[in-house]
């Protein structure tokens, strides 16, 4: 059983700031809820090196949006496969719809292998052929309304993988690439598939950790690759931590850890968060988030089961341009201080 939905209230909105008003010119209460229940049966086999779970399933979902109700019955096949042999592990999740969303399917595969000591190679290959979710198909609200006349699938291909060497001290390199064909995006108050036909974006990352005595060094670097029609991620970002841990006084019971996080992000075109619908939408504007520094500092004290920490976040607020924005309606994060206490109790 699954249940999800959203309620949005705006009791005293200003109609001078709203483009469309469909229901109430005084206040807004938008609401939708989609509930579904699934049942299935099939076969299951398990051994030390192989496991499979194959089922045929029925799902009934119902969408309630203000005073309108829509429902659908679906029948689909699903299988989960796992196998392990001589340091090689393969997992696969397959889904295919037979009724109610005919043609929708996905296949998610994962591979992990350990060719040498302290070395791990991993990869994922995911392909989805998805129809719009019920919420994307039809919706009535005070300021936005839509209904898709024709349901079209979008194809999403994600390939990711990497290699890691080490344990406590390690280095890891990763690649993550996503291609989207016939993608569904919220643009100009409507879900559209006729604007961005094909999108391809990816990242190349490198991170590691090095411990030298009481000092710890943690590095992370990421390169972003974008298409001209979907340039919504930084081309370069890095975050690095330097920490120091030790025991104080003769009894060596009081532990202390101090450190700083230093990073940098190049400028990028931002998306816009739509507060009416809680969705992020691509926009084209001359404004963008500029290159930003990142700076945090922290200190933690511990004795037995008691731990206390204080963390100063976004010290970079005093370095960066404070008028910079990460969204049309949101400025950069301000300076904040977090304080926390934990105490573990044991019988």
Low-confidence stretches of the chain (pLDDT < 50) are none
Helix (H) or strand (E) holding 135: helix 134-137
pLDDT of residue 300: 94
- Nearest of 211, 299, 213, 297 to residue 256 by alpha carbon: 299
Angle, vertex CA 203, rays to CA 334 and CA 176, nearest 5 = 120
3-state class of 134 per DSSP?
A: helix
What contacts 230, CB < 8 A, 6 or more positions away?
Answer: 196, 199, 200, 201, 282
How many residues in total does the chain contain? Answer: 347
Tokens 């209230």 label which residue? 9
3-state class of 182 per DSSP?
A: coil
Q: Classify residue 333 as left (phi > 0), alpha (psi -120 to 50) or beta.
A: beta
CA-based torsion, 10, 11, 16, 20: positive or negative:
positive
Q: How far apart are CA 91 and CA 110, in angstroms?
A: 5
Tell me the CA distances in angstroms from 53 to 45, 124, 132, one per residue in order: 7, 20, 27
3-state class of 133 per DSSP?
A: coil
Q: How far apart are CA 139 and CA 277, in angstroms?
A: 10
Tokens 């791990």 label which residue? 120
Contact 132, 153 (CB under 8 A): no
pLDDT of residue 346: 64
Query: What is the reported pTM?
Result: 0.86
In this structure, what token pair is assigned to residue 34? 């989609």
The tens digit of pLDDT for each residue in 262-302 reads 999 999 988 888 888 888 888 877 788 999 999 999 999 99
In this structure, what token pair is assigned to residue 108? 């998610």
pLDDT of residue 14: 60
Tokens 């970002």 label which residue? 237
pLDDT of residue 197: 79
**Span between the terminal Cα atoms of the chain, in Å:** 37
The tens digit of pLDDT for each residue in 65-104 reads 988 899 999 999 999 999 999 889 999 999 999 999 998 9
Tokens 């190349």 label which residue? 204
pLDDT of residue 251: 75
pLDDT of residue 170: 97
Q: Are strands 68-85 and 170-181 parallel, antiparallel or unpaired?
A: unpaired
CB neighbourhood size of 185 (10 A): 20
pLDDT of residue 343: 84
pLDDT of residue 37: 95
Q: How far apart are CA 263 and CA 281, in angstroms?
A: 27
C-alpha 87: how far from its chain's center? 30
Taking 3-state DSSP, the helix, strand and coil percentages for the chain, each rounded to the nearest 5, stand at: 0, 65, 35
Q: Are strands 170-181 and 198-212 parallel, antiparallel or unpaired?
A: antiparallel
pLDDT of residue 66: 83
């Amino acid at each position: 059983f699954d249940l999800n939905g959203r309620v949005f209230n705006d009791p005293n909105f200003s109609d001078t700031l709203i483009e469309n008003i469909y229901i109430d010119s005084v206040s807004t209460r938008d609401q939708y809820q989609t509930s579904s229940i699934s049942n299935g049966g099939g076969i299951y086999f398990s051994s030390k090196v192989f496991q499979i779970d194959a089922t045929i399933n029925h799902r009934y979902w119902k969408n309630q949006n203000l005073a309108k109700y829509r429902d659908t019955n679906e029948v689909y096949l699903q299988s989960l496969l796992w196998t392990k042999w001589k340091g090689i592990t393969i997992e696969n999740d397959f889904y295919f719809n037979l009724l109610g969303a005919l043609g929708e399917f996905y296949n998610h595969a994962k591979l992990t292998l350990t060719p040498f000591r302290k070395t791990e190679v991993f990869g994922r290959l995911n392909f989805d052929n998805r129809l719009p979710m019920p919420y994307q198909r039809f919706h009535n609200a005070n300021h936005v309304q839509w209904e898709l006349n024709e349901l079209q699938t979008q194809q999403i291909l994600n390939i990711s993988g990497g290699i890691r060497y080490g344990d406590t001290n390690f280095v890891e390199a990763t690649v993550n690439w996503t291609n989207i064909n016939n993608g569904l995006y919220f643009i100009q108050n409507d879900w559209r598939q006729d604007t961005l036909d094909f999108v391809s974006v990816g990242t190349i990352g490198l991170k590691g950790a090095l411990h030298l005595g009481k000092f710890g060094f943690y590095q992370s670097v990421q390169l972003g690759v974008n298409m001209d029609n979907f340039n919504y991620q930084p081309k370069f970002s890095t975050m690095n931590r330097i920490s120091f841990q030790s025991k104080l006084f003769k009894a060596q019971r009081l532990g202390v850890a101090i450190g700083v996080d230093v990073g940098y992000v190049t400028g990028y075109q931002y998306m816009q968060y739509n507060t009416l619908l809680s969705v992020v939408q691509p926009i084209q504007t001359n404004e963008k988030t500029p290159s930003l520094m990142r700076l945090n500092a922290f200190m933690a004290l511990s004795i037995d089961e008691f731990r206390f920490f204080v963390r100063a976040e976004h010290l970079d607020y005093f370095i960066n341009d404070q008028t910079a924005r990460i969204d049309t309606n949101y400025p950069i994060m301000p300076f904040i201080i977090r304080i926390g206490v934990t105490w573990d109790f044991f019988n």
